Copies of this chain bind each other. A is one copy, B any other.
Amino acid sequence: MLKFVTSNPRKFVEAQEILSDFELVQVELQVPEIQGKARDVVRRKTTDVLEQIDGPFFVDDTSLEFSAMDGLPGIYINDFLRKLGPEGLFKMLESFGNKRAFAVAWIGYADEKGDIEIFEGRVEGKIVKPRGETEFAWDPIFQPLGFEQTYAEMGVKEKAKISHRKKALEQLANYLAT
């Protein structure tokens, strides 16, 4: 049994699909996230959760990195999305010529002994004027490289095949399988 510490049922369902060989259990915990580099933030989140529950479990975090802004808003994307919305995020980047961006999923995994591994799933793309349903996060402004559609225009299933979260979860699945 593998615990996924998240308060987001949608993420949980997605993770269970990708980690179909494992029995996932959703655990909800309040864990404040620190400021800093993404990898450090996820590691700290994992150790903080370890003080509350035993492994094996994993936590996740997401960053949206604008190349023109040296990787920002990065892990602060949740606050930025909540306050600016997809329109405002696009606007923030409007004065910069370079629209390249990376969607990054981070997973912090702790095994039953408390050893920690960090996995990173990274998808290159560009930031565009919002297109598609705004139901999920910043999906309307992120168009992955090699696609004509934004995450939001793709539909859940198609996105799930190529997403940053998919990549990170696959790394976790591979790690668990060995």
Contacts and interface: CB of A to CB of B under 8 A. Distances in A.
Contacts of A34: 32-35
Contact of A84 (B44, B72, B94): B72
* Chain multiplicity (copies): 2
Contacts of A96: 91
Interface residues of A, number: 25
A52 to B, nearest CB: 16
B32 A44 contact: yes
A12 interface: no
A174 interface: no
Interface of A: 32-36, 44, 69-76, 78-80, 83-84, 88, 91-92, 94-96
